[in-house]
Amino acid sequence: MNIRVGIVGVAGRMGAQLVKTIHDTPDLRLAAAIDQPGGLAIGKDAGSLAGLPPCGVSVGGDLHAALAGIDVVIDFSRADAVAATAEACGASGVALMVGTTGLDIPTLARLEAAASRVPVLVSANTSLALNVLLDLVERAANALPVSYDIEIFEAHHRHKVDAPSGTALALGAAAAAGRGEQLPRHPNLTGSQPGARASGGIGFSVVRGGDVVGEHDVRFLGAGEQLRLTHVATDRAIFARGAVAAAAWLVGRPPGRYRMADFLLSKQ
């Protein structure tokens, strides 16, 4: 099967990785490359933008016009652009994989609406190993007493906008779920607050600097011991590989909301 893939946000850092990954993946074909209208990438060859030989797919700004020849869309664009992608895919019957983080409540509602018509997978992190970490964190939080403080340390490159990262928040949500709780909408940035730590709760410490791809360290801190669960990304390509594999899996699925865990478990 030759799966036709469209990329929204093709001119970004992840966009180039996605183009390269699709190029190297059998049975997948880049069918559309979308960037914001008026962007510098409009009209350029998507392969050339990614450092590959020309692929014959020019970057366009009109997603609706491109959807007729696409099986699945991968969106790694801006948080404020995802709602429009969700509406377009829902209306056109095209599967959607979203890796963009920092999504607000109205955008999440648009994704839910799209999921009533097409398969939609949303993930703050498309690394396969990181999604295994999410499961481990939830299990550890469920097993350990609530007297263990939970702290999530994360580090990213200096250009990352959201803090804590979407992945850190997903890890916090997994820890909270393990304790039968919900993560507060406004997370506790314990690393920047003086004074003694209150019991319970989940804290976040954030570092931004250099070209760090992504580091996440979840610590369960008890009296006399610590449990540390860590994921370190050294190559941005891991996110592209995970996203492309999950997007290909999504094609042909019934409408609904899916997680990376659904994709991972389906392989077992």
Report the distance separating Cα 92 and Cα 12, nearest Å: 25
Residue whose tokens read 């492309």: 244
- Residue 187's SS3 state is coil
- Comparing CA positions, the residue from 69, 72, 117 lying closest to residue 94 is 72
Among 20, 160, 216, 231, the one annotated catalytic: 160
Amino acid sitting at position 79: A
Q: Of 20, 156, 216, 231, which residue is the catalytic one?
A: 156
- Residues counted in the chain: 268
Q: At what angle do helices 237-250 and 128-143 cross, to 10 degrees?
A: 90
Of 121, 46, 112, 50, nearest in space to 83 by CA: 112
CA distance 145 to 3: 47
- 79 in Cβ contact with 101 (< 8 Å): yes
Query: Is 160 marked active-site?
Result: yes
Q: Would you call 68 helix, strand, or coil by DSSP?
A: helix
* Residues belonging to the active site: 156, 160
